[in-house]
C-alpha cells in the first residue's frame, strides 16, 4: 500500500485530496497547523484507513525537520509528497503591500515547500522511488494586478517544479506541477483575513473549481504507470481563460 504525505490537509484542496486518496487505497500523513482539523479529517476518513496526523507550521524549518525526521518507523517510507500548503495574504499594489503578508507568503509557499521537499526527496532517493506533486497556480505563470508577491511565490513554485524534475531525473522520481485557477476553498477568506464579503467576490457569476476538482487531478497524476510522468496540469473553471479573462454571468 502506498503512502502519501499531503501538506495543508486541514482545508480546501489538501483536505479533499486526503479524503480522495484514502478512498483510493493510500495510507496518509496529513499536515497543517490546526490539529483539531487534522483529527476531523482523520475521523471523516474513518478507522478502516491508516492516517497519521502531523501538526506543525511549515514556515519553521525546525518544526518541519522535527516532524518529518521524527516519523514513526512504519511511516518513514513516503511514496507521494503533495506540496499543497500555501496561501495568499492581501491584494494590494506593491507600494502598499504589508511586509508581514509578503513574509508569510514567501515563508510558506516557497521556503516551507523547500524545507519539506529537501527531507522527503532524500528519503525518496534512498528508497529509489517517489513522486512529488507541487500545487502551483495559474498565478505562477501570469501575474495579475495587486497579486505581485503571491504571484511571485507561485512563479517560484513553477521554477522549482522544473528544477526539481531535472534534479530528480537520474533518481527516477517523478515531479508534477498542478496549477489551479479560481478554486473556492478557504483561500479567499484567508487572503481577505476573514472578510467574507470580499472573499466571495472572485467567484461571483462563475462556477469555480472545488477542492475535489484538484484532488481528482492529483489522483490522476499519481496513478499513471511508472514510465509516464505528468509534468504540468493547468486547470481552470470553464468560465476562466487566464488570470485576466473571466466570463461572469
Ligand atoms: P485553503 O486555505 O483552503 O487551505 C490552505 C492549507 O494550507 C490549509 O490546510 C492550511 O492549514 C495550510 N497552511 C497554510 N499556511 C500554513 C503553514 N504556515 N503551515 C502549515 N500549513 C499551512 O486553500 P487552498 O486549498 O485553496 O490552497 C491550497 C494550495 O492551492 C495553496 O498552495 C494555494 O496557493 C493553491 N492554490 C489555490 C487556488 C484557489 O483558488 N483556491 C488556486 C491556485 C492555487 P492550517 O491553516 O491548518 O495550517
Ligand atoms: C490562486 C488563484 O487567481 O486567485 O492561486 O490567484 S488566483
Average pLDDT value over all residues in the chain: 98
Average pLDDT over residues 80-102: 98
Of the candidates 24, 33, 54, the one whose C-alpha atom is nearest the C-alpha of residue 42 is 54
The answer to whether residue 227 is domain-embedded is yes
The answer to whether residue 244 is domain-embedded is no
Test site for ligand 1: of 7, 9, 12, 207, most ligand atoms within 8 A of the Cβ? 12
CA 48 – CA 234 distance, rounded (Å):
33
Q: What is the DSSP letter of 209?
A: B
**Residue 206 pLDDT level (bands cut at 50, 70, 90):** very high
Alpha-carbon dihedral sign for residues 80, 49, 75, 113: positive
Average pLDDT over residues 80-92: 98
**Contact predicate 160/115, CB 8 Å:** no
| CATH number of the domain within which 65 lies | 3.40.50.720
Atom of ligand 2 nearest to the CA of 154: 5
Total domains in the fold of the chain: 1
Cα angle 101, 107, 110; round to 5 = 115
Where does ligand 1 bind, in terms of residues with CB under 6 Å? 8-14, 32-34, 37, 57-59, 84-87, 108, 135, 137, 180, 182-183, 185-187, 190, 211
Which pLDDT score is estimated for 154?
Answer: 99
Which pLDDT score is estimated for 3?
Answer: 98
CA 115 – CA 126 distance, rounded (Å):
18
Is residue 150 part of the annotated active site? The answer reads yes
The answer to whether residue 87 is domain-embedded is yes
pLDDT in tens, 140-154: 999 999 999 999 999
**Residue 222 pLDDT level (bands cut at 50, 70, 90):** very high
Domain span including residue 214: 3-235
pLDDT in tens, 112-131: 999 999 999 999 999 999 99
The answer to whether residue 214 is domain-embedded is yes
CA 235 – CA 212 distance, rounded (Å):
12
The answer to whether residue 249 is domain-embedded is no
Which pLDDT score is estimated for 148?
Answer: 98
| Cell numbers at 236, concatenated | 481552470
The answer to whether residue 245 is domain-embedded is no
Amino acid at each position: 500500500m502506498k503512502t502519501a504525505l499531503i501538506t495543508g490537509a486541514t482545508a480546501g484542496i489538501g483536505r479533499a485530496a486526503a479524503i480522495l486518496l484514502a478512498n483510493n487505497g493510500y495510507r496518509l500523513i496529513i499536515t497543517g497547523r490546526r490539529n483539531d482539523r487534522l483529527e476531523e479529517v482523520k475521523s471523516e476518513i474513518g478507522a478502516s484507513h491508516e492516517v497519521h496526523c502531523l501538526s506543525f507550521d511549515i514556515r519553521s524549518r525546525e518544526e518541519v525537520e522535527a516532524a518529518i525526521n521524527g516519523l514513526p518507523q512504519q511511516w518513514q517510507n513516503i511514496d507521494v509528497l503533495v506540496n499543497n500548503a500555501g496561501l495568499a495574504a492581501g491584494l494590494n499594489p506593491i507600494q502598499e503591500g504589508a511586509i508581514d503578508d509578503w513574509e508569510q507568503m514567501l515563508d510558506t509557499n516557497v521556503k516551507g515547500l523547500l524545507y519539506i521537499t529537501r527531507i522527503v526527496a532524500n528519503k525518496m532517493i534512498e528508497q529509489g522511488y517517489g513522486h512529488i506533486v507541487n500545487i502551483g497556480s495559474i498565478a505562477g505563470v501570469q501575474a495579475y494586478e495587486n497579486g505581485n508577491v503571491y504571484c511571485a511565490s507561485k512563479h517560484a513554485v513553477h521554477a522549482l517544479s522544473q528544477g526539481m524534475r531535472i534534479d530528480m531525473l537520474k533518481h527516477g522520481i517523478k515531479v508534477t506541477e498542478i496549477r489551479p485557477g479560481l478554486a473556492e476553498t478557504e483561500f479567499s477568506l484567508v487572503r481577505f483575513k476573514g472578510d467574507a464579503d470580499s472573499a466571495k467576490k472572485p467567484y461571483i457569476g462563475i462556477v469555480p473549481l472545488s477542492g475535489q476538482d484538484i484532488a481528482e487531478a492529483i489522483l490522476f497524476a499519481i496513478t499513471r504507470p511508472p514510465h509516464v510522468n505528468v509534468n504540468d496540469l493547468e486547470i481552470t473553471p470553464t468560465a476562466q481563460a487566464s488570470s485576466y479573462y473571466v466570463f461572469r454571468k
